[in-house]
Structure 1
Amino acid sequence: MTTFTLKDFQKIGRVENFTTDASGVSTDSRSVQAGQAFFAIKGENFDGHDFVKAAFEKQAAIGVVSESWFAQNGKNFPAKSFVVTSDPLKALQNLAKLHRLKFDASVIAVTGSNGKTTCKEMIQAVVSPSYETLATQGNLNNEIGVPLTLLRMNESTQMAIIEMGADKKGDIALLCDIAKPDSGVITNIGKAHVGNFGNIETVAATKAELFDALTDDGVRYVNVDDPRLRQHADRKKGLVTFGIEQEADYRGNILSIDEKARVRLKITTPEHYELTMQLQTPGKHQAYNALIACAIGCSIDLDFHDITAAIEAYRPLSNRMGLRERNGYTVIDDTYNASPESMRAAIESLATMSTAGRKIAVLSDMLELGNESANEHYKLGEFLKTQHIDHIMITGKESAKIKEGNSAAQFFNTKHELIDALKKIVKTGDAILVKGSRGMKMEEIVEAL
């Protein structure tokens, strides 16, 4: 556990009644551990100041609170230690920024519209056997999660893989200012959260803040197959390209796709060495994550055989194209999130699978698409006509537009109605894709099966 001292806290605020160092940090009173510093962060739907007492009851060592809260409530905690600041969130970020600068660990930043978490996990799988590696846990990739990850860094950390998400322009620049990455990769540019950005051009500009933040000595891993990223491949220094369709430093070639839609991939390196690997995650789009992981592994001089073995051994997180065998049928659990691009990729994966039974797509809303939502859901319905899917079952207000684009889709007012109907038709040998945005909680359907 990382220790934070009086000197550390004095750099982020005014210290009141300091008694002991803190062993780690927390922003959640439910999971705060004895000896940690509790940061009382205020969000849209919560205020950490409401839980300062609960944090101290769990033996938090120090509370990081706002000036206004302390002026009103500090007197109620006469024996407790505080750091008083104008903004506890900014204090957390500043502490993380200062902490990161204490260490020489190499920081790799990962962003993009789709596939960030799987990409980060695959890079970690490749790097961690050879380097003491710190990586973002789950998808803690925002203005709170990135600092929390960096604050876990210690003297033994050699490599840090930091996932970065964005909801608005400037978010990636802020996270890079905190993390100071040495290298970075943008997986792709798509319409995920486009409603927050206004248009896809702003999405692309926001993700590109990662490349802008890197120094001239930093390494930019550029997906030359993505037309909105290809422009970044004109650099003369600190550039590594990857792709399947275009010429690239690391060029992928999909050799075959098995009965579970998993790719057998050949990657050719700049030295013309060929690595051949069998991926365990369904979907042709997973080839790009393997390319990124391979490129990074080769760039830090890892053994080719070790890179191949790590990628082949990687298994996805359960709700990101995870395969589950249930009562003789297969469930493809991709319930973590959904965007137009990831929906199409998942549906194509289902259509590619070889099954003894039928292929069933169980889908729900793609959220945060703003003014493009109706059109994107309608186009998804039209896209489904081009795929060999036997049953299409949908639920959610926005998903009604899928049925307008594809009259064969069955619409259900509630998940419970859909679950009842699905249980009646599912048979041995069937393959069922379940997917929707995080807010739709489609994992409830997976659990019901």
Structure 2
Amino acid sequence: MMSLSVAEIARATAGRLTHCGGDGAAATVGSVCTDSREAGPGSLFVAIAGDHVDGHDFVRQVREAGAVAALVTREQDVDIPQIVVPDTVAALGAVAKATVAARRATGRPFTVIGITGSVGKTTTKDLIRGILSTQAPTVAPVGSFNNEIGLPLTATKVDADTRYLVAEMGASAIGEIRYLASLVPPDIAVVLKVGVAHLGGFGSVENIRRAKAEIVQALPADGVAVLNADDPRVATMADMTPASTVRWFGIAESNNPCDVRATNVTVDGTDRPEFDLVTPEGQAHVHLALRGRHNVMNALAATTVALRLGVPLEDIVSVLDAQTAASPHRMAVSTVSLPGHASRDGGASAGACFTLIDDSFNANPDSMKAGLDGLAAWHAEGTDTPYRIAVLGSMLELGDDDDAKHRDIGAYCQRLGIDAIVCVGSDTDPNLDRLAADFADGARAADTSGRMHVELVHGADEADRSVTALAADHPGSVVLLKGSHASGLSGLATRWTSQAAGSQKPPTASRAEGDNA
């Protein structure tokens, strides 16, 4: 973190400094956290009142851990310097803004890359981080820290040596990206796609386009907009930015000019894409370590940014060929072995071993189809195509026609030749159950021959039992987990992979890690 004192942070947040005897106001803050378990010597603890936990209850604990100050809305009877503000989330944003401003004030080269889009933000962020970190110190989070808590927390990690900050910006309403960009103004802004994620919150696709355009509208005159030439809604943003430079990436041959393009795109038997990368600096063949044809566009976006920043093409290709998913629950592939357990009919099921494609972090129609494409492509070129099981959780915030969108996904499974679809609802949430039933209805209506196994279950535990039974009956199965966070499938993925690895659970999403569009 940049060297900021407690007193400077109080001024940046317009807060009232209390419990500050001695030289407490002069103490230097070395890090910022919202989780009391991460507090340590020199840290600033931001107390946020959540739905289930109130950070104010842990101020004494962070003092004992060595924190130098706490940012609070209610003064606590604890002997630690406290900065009292009306809203600690807004104050956290002010700390981030002050951190970035202090880094820019050093006069040393520093570039902020902002990324948004309905899909692909986190993967593109991870690729850009992977490339740029081979060149200079780079700050970017692991996971989807793209909201009003996660992005500021990331920005506070910037220090005097940071050359690049990669900032993922999500939104569930118009104005949210504008706010995030006001805290961390981008020098380069990437827009990946305008889709229908969170359509229910935005009200229309046009509103989603307007929200995404806020990132390019925040660019300075000497900034750079990096736009998807294959998405006509993104293409309109070239006329909406004050930036003097626009760079384009895409696949469609009809889109010209296009600065960075992929041609001859194919996928191998484990869904790893290959393509010829065409750039102003030359051409190269790429075989992505990431799985999923959709990740070609993310790789093109990352390449466009890296080339603009002077990274040699051979260094870019080296990272693209080697970097697997850095953030959890995004097309992560593992082998899972499960013991047998009691079945729903009271009998015992056999154990099972299968390949798991864990893409369970979140879901919308675009990302759902991309995940299913990957499942369908898995060793599809051979004579021994595996039994393919799609475990699908509901997609949320899609607007009034969400039932039709779910039925369409069920029908899409049939068109791809998926062997089994396990539709995961809930025994406590009628809306999740209704949408899961729509998956099943769409699949059954499309599957007139009755070839596909279609099953509706009411929670992750039932899905566990169903998949175990199906995989036991079909050795060598491959299983896709895909659904919104509320479906509980990411927890199921963690359960399975923890059993397989015999290890502790990997981290799960927090309030700082958003699933915004």
| TM-score for both structures, normalised by structure 2 | 0.81
Q: Quick one: percent identity of the two aligned structures?
A: 32
SS in 1 for 2:167: strand
The residue type equivalent to 1:392 in the other structure is I
Paired residues, what number? 441
**1:174 equivalent in alignment to 2:179:** yes
**Which residues of 2 match residues 53-202 of structure 1 at below 5 A?**
53-66=60-73, 69-70=74-75, 74=76, 76-77=77-78, 79-104=79-104, 105-202=110-207
Q: Give a deviation string over 1:256-277, Cα, whole Å, max 9, x none.
A: 2100111111121135x21211
**For residue 332 of structure 1, what is the aligned residue in structure 2?**
357
**For residue 11 of structure 2, what is the aligned residue in structure 1?**
10
| CA distance in structure 2 between the partners assigned to 1:232 and 1:23 by the alignment | 39
**For residue 341 of structure 2, what is the aligned residue in structure 1?**
none
Q: Give a deviation string over 1:268-290, Cα, whole Å, max 9, x none.
A: 1135x212110122211110011
Q: Give a deviation string over 1:231-280, Cα, whole Å, max 9, x none.
A: 12457931000110123111111442100111111121135x21211012
467, 473, 476: which is aligned to 1:429?
A: 476
The residue type equivalent to 2:67 in the other structure is A
Kindly tell me: are residues 420 and 98 of structure 1, through their superposed partners in 2, closer, same or farther at Cα, counting changes over 3 Å? same
14, 31, 34: which is aligned to 2:38?
A: 31
The residue type equivalent to 1:226 in the other structure is D
Q: Give a deviation string over 1:97-126, Cα, whole Å, max 9, x none.
A: 111011232000011111111110011111
**For residue 214 of structure 1, what is the aligned residue in structure 2?**
219
Q: Give a deviation string over 1:185-216, Cα, whole Å, max 9, x none.
A: 01111111222211221111111100111112
**1:416 equivalent in alignment to 2:461:** yes
| CA distance in structure 2 between the partners assigned to 1:212 and 1:278 by the alignment | 34
**For residue 399 of structure 1, what is the aligned residue in structure 2?**
436
SS in 2 for 1:280: coil
**Which residues of 2 match residues 228-239 of structure 1 at below 5 A?**
228-234=233-239, 237-239=244-246
Q: Output the aligned Cα RMSD.
A: 1.9
SS in 1 for 2:416: coil
| CA distance in structure 1 between the partners assigned to 2:245 and 2:30 by the alignment | 37
Kindly tell me: are residues 239 and 440 of structure 1, through their superposed partners in 2, closer, same or farther at Cα, counting changes over 3 Å? same
| CA distance in structure 1 between the partners assigned to 2:146 and 2:52 by the alignment | 19
Question: CA offset at residue 417 of structure 1?
Answer: 2.2
| CA distance in structure 1 between the partners assigned to 2:51 and 2:191 by the alignment | 28
SS in 1 for 2:270: coil
SS in 1 for 2:103: coil
| CA distance in structure 2 between the partners assigned to 1:116 and 1:255 by the alignment | 21
| CA distance in structure 2 between the partners assigned to 1:265 and 1:395 by the alignment | 35
SS in 2 for 1:41: coil
Question: CA offset at residue 174 of structure 1?
Answer: 0.3
**For residue 438 of structure 1, what is the aligned residue in structure 2?**
485
Question: CA offset at residue 44 of structure 1?
Answer: 4.6
SS in 1 for 2:374: helix
Kindly tell me: are residues 207 and 45 of structure 1, through their superposed partners in 2, closer, same or farther at Cα, counting changes over 3 Å? farther
**For residue 21 of structure 1, what is the aligned residue in structure 2?**
28
SS in 2 for 1:30: helix
| CA distance in structure 1 between the partners assigned to 2:268 and 2:261 by the alignment | 21
**For residue 404 of structure 2, what is the aligned residue in structure 1?**
375
* Structure 1: tracts of 5 or more residues without a match: none
Q: Is the 8 A contact 1:27 1:48 kept in 2?
A: yes
SS in 1 for 2:236: helix
**For residue 267 of structure 2, what is the aligned residue in structure 1?**
257
| CA distance in structure 2 between the partners assigned to 1:399 and 1:199 by the alignment | 23
411, 418, 422: which is aligned to 1:389?
A: 418
SS in 2 for 1:53: helix
SS in 2 for 1:221: strand
Q: Is the 8 A contact 1:233 1:241 kept in 2?
A: no
SS in 2 for 1:281: coil
**For residue 274 of structure 1, what is the aligned residue in structure 2?**
283
Question: CA offset at residue 318 of structure 1?
Answer: 4.1
SS in 1 for 2:232: coil
SS in 2 for 1:268: strand
**Which residues of 2 match residues 348-359 of structure 1 at below 5 A?**
348-354=373-379, 356=384, 357-359=386-388
Question: CA offset at residue 315 of structure 1?
Answer: 0.3
Report 1 or 2 for greater relative contact order, CA contacts < 8 Å, sequence distance ≥ 6. 2
**1:295 equivalent in alignment to 2:304:** yes
Q: Give a deviation string over 1:77-136, Cα, whole Å, max 9, x none.
A: 3x3211122222222111211110112320000111111111100111111101111112
Kindly tell me: are residues 90 and 421 of structure 1, through their superposed partners in 2, closer, same or farther at Cα, counting changes over 3 Å? closer
Kindly tell me: are residues 353 and 65 of structure 1, through their superposed partners in 2, closer, same or farther at Cα, counting changes over 3 Å? same
| CA distance in structure 2 between the partners assigned to 1:373 and 1:166 by the alignment | 20
The residue type equivalent to 1:425 in the other structure is L
**For residue 505 of structure 2, what is the aligned residue in structure 1?**
none
| TM-score for both structures, normalised by structure 1 | 0.93
Question: CA offset at residue 164 of structure 1?
Answer: 0.9
Question: CA offset at residue 296 of structure 1?
Answer: 1.2
Pick which of 173-182 and 57-66 moved more: 57-66
Pick which of 321-330 and 104-113 moved more: 321-330
Q: Is the 8 A contact 1:137 1:149 kept in 2?
A: no
Question: CA offset at residue 415 of structure 1?
Answer: 2.4
Kindly tell me: are residues 53 and 160 of structure 1, through their superposed partners in 2, closer, same or farther at Cα, counting changes over 3 Å? same
Pick which of 101-110 and 152-161 moved more: 101-110
Q: Is the 8 A contact 2:189 2:215 kept in 1?
A: yes
